[in-house]
Each structure stands twice: as C-alpha cells, then as structure tokens.
Amino acid sequence: MTDSRDELEDFRAEARAWLEQNFPKSLAGRGGAMMRSESIDESESEALDWAKRLGEKGWGTPTWPAEYGGGGLTQLQAQALHQEMDRARAFNPLIRTTGMGITMVGPTILEYGTEDQKQRHIPKICRGEVFWSLGYSEPNAGSDLASLSTRAEDVGDHWVVNGQKTWTSGADISDWCGVLVRTDFKAEKRDGISFLMIDMHQPGVETRPIRLIGGASPFCETFFNDARAEKNEMLGELNAGWTVGKRLLQHERASQTGATSGMGGGARRSLRDVAREYAGVDGDGRLADADLRSRLTAHMMDAKSHSLTLARVTAEARGSAKVSAAASILKNAASLVAQQRAELIVEMMGHNGLGWEGEGFSPEELDAVRAWLSGKAMSIYGGSAEIQNNIIAKNILGLPENTQRG
C-alpha cells in the first residue's frame, strides 16, 4: 500500500485531532522519565487511561495487522503519527506496560508464530495487557549465548524447564517470558536450542531483582525449577530456536536505533537550553567555553547525521517491516550518540551534575545523572558493540566467518 501526499496529510490531521482529544495534557513531556520506571501502578490513573485509549486505537503498535489489534498503518503513516506524538510531547505507554512485548516478542510471534499463537498473544500485547520478559543470558552464557544450559525436557503433554537466566529485564513483574532452552542435549550447541514461551505465574519460577548503579532494578536473576511450558507455546520449530532467537535480537537492535523515538516521550530539553543555563554565554550570546561549544556542535552534527540516516533507511525499506543487519550499525551509532549527549549534559551541569539523590538537586538534575549512569549499559545490552561489529563484518562487509556457524 502506498500513500499519496494528500492521503498522508489527511491521516496526519486525523492523528493530530485524535491526540488532541485523547492524550492527557498533564502527561506532556513526562514520557522520558516515566519510561525508565519499572511499571505503571494504580496511582498513575491518567497514564493507565492513556495506555488503554492508545491500545484500543491500535496505535501503540501502529504497523501491526489490524486483524490482531494493531493499527494496520503503513510505514509512512506510522512515521507521521510518531511526528505528531512528538509535537504533542506524547509517548507510547504500551512500551512500558508490555516490557519486551512490542519491541521484540510481538514482531517475532508475527513472523514465526502459528495462527493460534498470534490470536492468543498479539491482541493482548496490542492492548498493553501483558508484560513480557526474555530469558536469554545465563551466568555462563553471555556474549556466547549458544553456551546456554537451561534445559527443557519433553514429558509427553508438556515441557519441564530447569535452569537459570540472568539480566532478565522485568522478570519479576512479567506475565510471560520468551526463553531459549536446550532441547537436544547431544546436538551441536547452536543446533539443539528451542524457543519456549513460558507462563511466569507458576510455582516453578523464581525471580530476584538486581540493583543497578542508576538506582532502578529492571534486571533479574530468574530460576526455573521444574517450570511448565505447554507444547503449543514453542515458537518456531523444535531445535530451531537459534534462528528465532537471532531474529528477535534483530528486532531488539532495530528498537534501539532511535527509529521509534517519536513514541518514547516527546521532545526533550534541548542541549542549547541546558548549555545556556549552566555553562553561561559571552557578550555575543555564544557559549563562553569555546571548547565546549566545538564539542557540542560536533555532537549535534552526529545526532543529525544519525537521524537523517534513519530516515534514509526507512525510505529505502519502501514500507517493508523487514529488519536487516544494518540495524547493528544503527544500534552502535545510536548508543554512541545517546552516551555522548548524557556526558555533555552532566559536564555542563558542573557540580549540579554530581547528585544521585538529595534535596540539593532538582528532579531534572537527578534524572540527568541517573540517565547518564544507566546509559553506560547501552553499548552492552542488546548485544555488545563488539558483537555488533562482528555482525557488521560478516553480514555487511562480507568478511569471513571466524567463529562457529550461525
């Protein structure tokens, strides 16, 4: 489906009017801080109401098929919606209420799932009703994920799962978890893995939150002790989980490129405003610190280049939702740009950028410091920068494989 200019402008007007009527003005600009929270509680009635409205409209998952509860929009319509949400300083709360559901699990179910799995899981993700986590990394299987040892044994009418996962984001509040398990214990390590979807509300699952330097505890240790997984909850074919798992990671990396920034919290405070407030200006209205001025300009150029590259990649996709290895390039670039921005903000704040807690700092200053601390993980999670470089070398530059196949 293609969009004429008139059709696209008609849709933009529709989106702007709908946001004007449905997005609570009190939430404007609050998305960035709210998205770093671990869950939405009952006290946040306006956020819950906004999530319900967006989910019922299908615009929390704008390009997903309407038959499963998505918006059924084209890529260009979705881009226009993102822009209008930025203009309204709105955000997509379903990214928060579904955990890994929208960014990773849902797209993978749409691609590999049976019709029954799509009908049971996708509508609930579209409405923001189910929180998903992912059981990938283990204490002895991080970057070498295929070394995982969590086992799933076939006992006839279901699977019995035993093992430990770590860095399981949101496991303690999740309803479902997509777990990579070993189902063939004699096969080569990348050939004996399957992808199971496990109900987290059962006695065989235990979670322990891990406290992070940024103050939040979104990650967990997760233990499966004779946990049950139904036979109809295997995503993809038996022992083909490595393929499914890699595809999901492509979706994760695509979600970390900044391509969906318009759905994550609206316009942020500009670096210019932060610089003027904390660093000071000279008699001509320029930043007094020439070195800072130069570095700030270089960063803004990097950020703009990244934004334009994302726009070009989107245009070249011609409406296709397919995720390519180019996501690894964009993921690394997005991590670098975000980390540079956080470093500059904390530097410009000076002593005000030293606070982790306490009354001597404004909420914006504390938020900036915690974002700087938590942002250090951006070049690690979703596959480290080094792993992305390996993918780029092999799949884009065509350099020879120097590890195991797959």
Cα 60 to Cα 65: distance, rounded to the nearest angstrom: 12
Which among 84, 138, 221, 252 is annotated as catalytic?
252
Place of tokens 């004699």: 186
Of residues 66, 93, 78, 86, the one with CA closest to residue 19? 86
252 is catalytic: yes
Q: Contact at 8 Å (CB) between 226 and 262?
A: no
| Alpha carbon distances (Å) from 357 to 190, 210, 215, 360, 363 | 45, 19, 10, 8, 9
75-87 vs 5-22: helix axis angle to the nearest 10?
A: 40
Q: What tokens does 220 get?
A: 């967990």
235: burial class by Cβ within 10 Å (0-12, 13-18, 19+)? buried
326-349 vs 363-374: helix axis angle to the nearest 10?
A: 140
Active site residues: 252
